[in-house]
Amino acid sequence: MKLTILGCYSATPRTFSNPTSQVLDIKNHMFLIDCGEGTQVQLRRQKIKFARIKHIFISHLHGDHFFGLPGLISTFRLLGREAELHIYGPKGIKEAITLMLKLGDSWTNYPLIFHELISRESELIFEDDKVEVHTIPLKHRIYANGFLFKEKPGERKLNIEAVTRYGIDKCFFQNIKNGKDVMLDSGEIVPNKKLTFDPSHPKSYAFCSDTSFNTALVPVINNSDILYHESTFLDQHEHLAEKTGHSTAKQAGKIAKLANVKTLILGHYSTRYENMESFKQEAEQEFNNVLLADDGKEFEF
């Protein structure tokens, strides 16, 4: 699992920082999460292939989280894209995007499929044989969702020494990796546990931005491997966090602790602050394993 931060600052773009957007590379999927202004440029800067992006998840309809989307959709068209593009976001996103395409006479030459979200409960919105994606209802000034990306358990790993010792033919290997026992010619049944090793632990990534301090999301993200949680403000501006529907770094640490996650990544910093280390220090008052997002930063798990 690889996470690339394209932008992680709140509100207005600057020459040296970008609003929210990130790419999650998981089980051969490249998911784009939010699409603030400048996302296209950041994708090119990070040498991420546009063609690999087939699913885009938009948390909410504030500009710093989706104003880069119309331009990206248009660029896909100019590049001759043919593959489907699926966009998951709040109800209204289809109207907003298609109106711009209509007024500019710029309809896509590829299938553009919208999945509009209205539920205030967590729901499964994407699933295949490797990954599933659930919404994480957030508490913001407008309807907003985070997203929980979960790997599905992989095949069991073949114990070559054991299958060789039992003289098991290769034609049975796939069934063994699928968890089945094997009956030998003698009639003896060899339990699967003797022939395989456990698969790698399936990883999970929870994206939570923007939201005020909200313990209701804890059951949804419980035991996640990685949590990205907004930390727009430091503790001295907690009153602003409450007023604007955002969180402090310390509150993000509290959520990480309550949800028993393994790693917390902070982001969505207000541009009023110059020292990002202060966010880490305040979150660490509640939770130990804290990392700081920054534009262009990559995390591999």
* Catalytic center residues: 64
Tokens of 88: 């998951």
- H-assigned helices in the chain: 39-45, 63-66, 69-78, 93-103, 160-165, 173-177, 218-221, 238-244, 249-258, 277-283
Question: Do 17 and 9 touch, CB atoms closer than 8 A?
Answer: yes
Which backbone phi and psi does 258 adopt, to 5 degrees? Answer: -60, -35
62 annotated ligand binder: yes
Residue 217 per-residue DSSP state = G
Question: Could you tell me if 55 and 126 are in contact, meaning their C-beta atoms sit under 8 angstroms apart?
Answer: yes
Question: Any known ligand binding at 237?
Answer: no
CA atoms of 236 and 123, how far apart (whole Å): 35
Asked whether residue 34 is marked as a ligand-binding residue, the answer is: no
Please tell me whether 268 is known to bind a ligand: yes
Q: Is 60 a known ligand-binding residue?
A: yes
225 among annotated binding-site residues? no
Rounded to whole angstroms, how far apart are CA atoms 223 and 127? 20
Q: Does 185 show up as a binding residue in the annotation?
A: no
Q: What are the binding residues for Zn(2+)?
A: 60, 62, 64-65, 140, 210, 268
Binding residues: 60, 62, 64-65, 140, 210, 268
